[in-house]
Amino acid sequence: MHLKSLTLRGFKSFASATTLRFEPGITCVVGPNGSGKSNVVDALSWVMGEQGAKSLRGGKMEDVIFAGTSGRAPLGRAEVSLTIDNTDGALPIEYAEVTITRTMFRNGGSEYALNGDTCRLLDIQELLSDSGIGREMHVIVGQGRLDSVLQADPMGRRAFIEEAAGVLKHRKRKEKALRK
The residues of the shown chain that bind Mg ion, judged by CB under 5 A, are: 37-38
Region at 171 (left for phi over 0; alpha for psi -120 to 50; beta for the rest): alpha
Judge residue 82's burial from the number of C-beta atoms within 10 Å of its C-beta, 0-12 exposed, 13-18 middle, 19 or more buried: buried
Task: For residue 39, state whether it binds ligand ATP (rule: CB under 6 A).
Answer: yes
DSSP bridge pairs for 3? 84
45 is in an annotated binding site: no
Judged by beta carbon distances under 5 to 8 A according to partner kind, the member of Mg ion, ligand ATP, none in contact with residue 33 is ligand ATP
Which three-class secondary structure state does DSSP give residue 69?
A: strand
51 binds, among ligand ATP, Mg ion, none (CB under 5 to 8 A by kind): none
Question: Does an H or E element contain 82, and which?
Answer: strand 77-85
Q: State in angstroms the smallest separation of the CB of 167 from ligand ATP.
A: 30
Task: Return the one option of Mg ion, ligand ATP, none that residue 14 interacts with (CB less than 5 to 8 A, by type).
Answer: none
Under the criterion CB under 6 A, does residue 7 sit at the interface with ligand ATP? Answer: no
Give dist(CA 110, CA 118) in Å, integer: 11
Q: Strand (E) positions, 106-174?
A: 110-114, 117-119
156 φψ region: left (φ > 0), alpha (ψ -120 to 50), beta (else): alpha
Size of residue set near ligand ATP by CB under 6 A: 15
Q: What is the CA radius of gyration of the chain?
A: 18
Smallest gap from residue 34 Cβ to Mg ion (A): 8
- Among the candidate windows 32-40, 46-54, 130-138, 148-156, which touches ligand ATP by CB under 6 A? 32-40
Max distance between CA atoms of the chain, in angstroms, equals 61
Residue 33 binds ligand ATP (CB under 6 A)? yes
Candidates 34-42, 93-101, 134-142, 163-171 — which segment interacts with ligand ATP by CB under 6 A?
Answer: 34-42
Residue 55 engages ligand ATP in binding (rule: CB under 6 A): no
Q: Which is nearer to Mg ion, 45 or 83 (CB)?
A: 45
